[in-house]
Structure 1
Amino acid sequence: MDATEIPALPFIDEHTTIVEANTDAVWRELTARTDGTRGFRVAVSTRGRELALVGRHPFSRYALIFHLDETDQGHTRLRAESRATFPGPAGAVYRRLVIGTGAHALLVQRMLTKVRKSTPEGRGELRDKPPPAGSRETT
């Protein structure tokens, strides 16, 4: 699956948190936490704006899209949008197990909380500094 197929996937949910740091700092933390995430690959990576991860297995095709928006206070609104399709009877059972139980929402909320709590203060000095040499940032 590639980026052009994401909009065709049915919307599942969206979770949001406000991070008291600029988008550059949040981007660094988000990409560090999602680097090598099992079952996902990067479909879209627009530094400081959007990171779309996609995946598939026999019971589902899915996407997890992170949107970063700067607020008026210089903080970052981090949104995680989930989209997926669950084909066939086995997919319906899988959907009930993953979405219906609330497990998916709990995991996404936990991920956003970890990013929020782990991102260093990003206002000021981080805003104007280039990434450190040798960093593994995507652009």
Structure 2
Amino acid sequence: MERLSYIDEHARSVDANRDRAWKALLKVVCKDPADPATVPTGFVLDSAEPPARLALKGRHWFSRYALVFELDEEGSSRTRIRAKSWANFPGPHGKIYRALVIGTGGHKIAVRRMLRQIAAAA
């Protein structure tokens, strides 16, 4: 995949060890929590390194993108989950799409909501 431009990073600490936080991440992100490859429509699994990293990527006519979750121990029963995003938006349609997705704050809202759901599931 081409080199993507950095978009942003959002993070949340959860009251769970890294194994529990990993299970919560898969429960929220994957259609089948037992199979990290069952990611949402629009994404494919790039890599899964339990319980530390889940990398997703995707593409369509207006963008190429990646979303990477990293889980860092903050102690024996606390984990920081970071969601990092990269994307390219080629051409004039991509520019418009970027304005709609990133410029409106929709991406930020969606990622933060996902992190809240993961925290609740942990």
Matched letter for residue 111 of structure 1: M
Question: Within the alignment, does 1:84 sit opposite 2:87 as a pair?
Answer: yes
Match of 2:5 among 1, 6, 10: 10
What's the CA shift string for 1:80-129, capped at 9, x where partnerless? Answer: 0000000000000000000000000000000000000111xxxxxxxxxx
Tell me the TM-score normalised to structure 1 length: 0.79
SS of alignment partner, residue 113 of structure 2: helix
Distance 1:32 1:59 in 2: 29
User: Paired residues, what number?
Assistant: 114
What's the offset of the Cα at 1:72? Answer: 2.9
Given that 2:58 and 2:65 are in contact with CA atoms closer than 8 Å, whether structure 1 keeps it comes out as: yes
SS of alignment partner, residue 71 of structure 1: strand
Distance 1:27 1:58 in 2: 32
Q: Which has the larger radius of gyration?
A: 1
User: Aligned ranges for residues 52-67 of structure 1 at < 5 Å?
Assistant: 52-67=55-70
Q: Which shows bigger deviation, 36-45 or 102-111?
A: 36-45
What's the CA shift string for 1:21-50, capped at 9, x where partnerless? Answer: 001011111112221311111101000100
Matched letter for residue 30 of structure 1: L
**Larger strand proportion of the pair:** 2
Matched letter for residue 65 of structure 2: Y
Show the counterpart of 1:115. 118
| Structure 1: runs of 5 or more not aligned | 120-139
Question: Within the alignment, does 1:39 sit opposite 2:34 as a pair?
Answer: no
| Structure 2: runs of 5 or more not aligned | 31-38
What's the offset of the Cα at 1:73? Answer: 5.0
Runs of 4+ deviating beyond 3 Å: none
Show the counterpart of 1:23. 18
Show the counterpart of 1:130. none
Tell me the TM-score normalised to structure 2 length: 0.89
